[in-house]
Amino acid sequence: MFHPIRTAALLVLPFGLAITLPALADPDADRGPTERLEADLRGFFAGEGTLEIGEISSALLRSRVTAEDLRFESHDGERLSVERYIVRGDYDRPDEVTLEGIRLEAFLDEPAVMNIEQVVLNDPGRAVPPRDEEALADQWLGSLALSGLNLELAEGPVASLANLRLDGDLEDGSGGLWIEALEIDLARMIDQAPADERTRLRMISNVLTDGSGRLRLDATFDAEWEELDGRTRLVSEGHIDLEDALRLAHAVTLPVLLPEGVSAAELFTDEALLEAATLLGGDVRLTLGDRGLFPRLATLGAAMGGVSEAQYLEQARTQAQGFGMMFGPQVQALLSGLVELMEGAAETLELTVTLPAESRLGSLADDPLALPDRFDMRVETR
């Protein structure tokens, strides 16, 4: 069964905070873009609830058609409104579709309101998306930008996002995901959790947020690929910043030999093809920077174990040595580096891995315990 509100909740964010207005009507050459857009919107909501459209207008010189003041109420009482729905370019293949002033009021377990200032979809392929959720992701969510998202429950605001940009079309050789100022009120959300889980969740929250109860995240992920002499070079860089907690960065360079007839763009979207690719060496660098999280982990571990922090850290060193005897000095160096972060002797841990040539990516995952013997791994702390 098709659910407009559910589909609306899929468009804006890949992880399910989104909004859109798919179409049912077929293109009709006898009608102008304003008539076609109105018919598509009304066709989408037909039988699911009540739709009101304030005004639809077009600007020929700018190749733009705009629907204003859209208001939909489902049979279940859920409400969706969009101040402006703007289609720019050729209606059959627009350059851009923009939704402004989005408000979604959903009533599931409890009332929730999501407001979004703007969503911009670049080169979506059509003025309105398909009904099918899989086709929606493939055709409409390839390139989008979102700004000004806020989520409220009955108790008040619980999450906000300043900006998100997604470039999922790798056919041009690059793509990425950029997240700016995602803030979550963990304390308020934990208050809504089952009573028997709140103590554990508050403990985790205190460690992550240094007791503030508010988590802020910024992230960047870039991916590029290029083909040269029948081989493909994959490059990826990015980082995740958790305010007052940690920074995790990665840099990956992988020269690979692709299966016959497979493009690099397909490799990023199909796990089976990725596992079938042949590595020609490569490097992976992970950098973990402490922003206060690891000393708090030591404090928590000591409290849970009923020992002093010095005793807890000594136990951790002993365990690192034990794992080193079982899995080798590389594993011991990694675990010992984490202990240094917890005791404040280091602020950054860098792990560099040089991958073996002429090996399938899938084979590396078949026996993870044997990985330290198959590649060169270096650990540095500073």
Is residue 87 located within the same domain as residue 227? Answer: no
74-123 pLDDT tens trace = 988 899 999 999 999 999 999 999 999 999 998 766 789 999 999 999 98
Inside any domain, residue 193 = no
Inside any domain, residue 204 = no
Q: Own/partner pairs for 161-170, CB < 8 Å, 24+ apart? A: 161/17, 164/13, 166/14, 166/141, 166/142, 167/142, 167/143, 168/141, 168/142, 168/143, 169/123, 169/142, 169/143, 170/223, 170/225, 170/264, 170/265, 170/268, 170/269
Domain count, the chain: 2
**Of 125, 149, 167, which closes a domain?**
167
Domain of 329, in residue numbers = 223-382
What is the distance of C-alpha 43 from the center of its chain?
31
Q: How many CB atoms lie within 10 A of CB 328?
A: 13
What pLDDT does residue 25 have?
A: 40
- Phi, psi (rounded to 5 degrees) for 4: -60, -40
Inside any domain, residue 177 = no
Distance CA 43, CA 41 (A): 5
225-238 pLDDT tens trace = 888 777 888 899 99
**Whether the predicted pLDDT of 168 surpasses 60:** yes
Q: What is the mean pLDDT of residues 182-193?
A: 94
Distance CA 240, CA 218 (A): 6
Q: Could you tell me the CA-to-CA distances from 19 to 69, 85, 118, 169, 178 in Å, in that order?
A: 15, 11, 10, 20, 19
Inside any domain, residue 338 = yes
- Under 8 Å between Cβ of 39 and 157: no
Inside any domain, residue 181 = no
Inside any domain, residue 307 = yes
Task: Express as a percent the part of the chain with pLDDT over 70.
Answer: 87
Is residue 50 located within the same domain as residue 141? Answer: yes
SS (H, E, C) 131-150: CCHHHHHHHHCCEEEEEEEE
Is residue 37 located within the same domain as residue 156? Answer: yes
Region of 173 (left: φ > 0; alpha: ψ -120 to 50; beta: rest) is left
Is residue 237 located within the same domain as residue 371? Answer: yes
Inside any domain, residue 128 = yes
What pLDDT does residue 9 have?
A: 52
**Of 99, 134, 167, which closes a domain?**
167
How would residue 192 be classed by pLDDT, with cut points 50, 70 and 90?
confident
**Of 138, 167, 196, which closes a domain?**
167
Is residue 147 located within the same domain as residue 233? Answer: no
How would residue 46 be classed by pLDDT, with cut points 50, 70 and 90?
confident
Is residue 7 located within the same domain as residue 83? Answer: yes
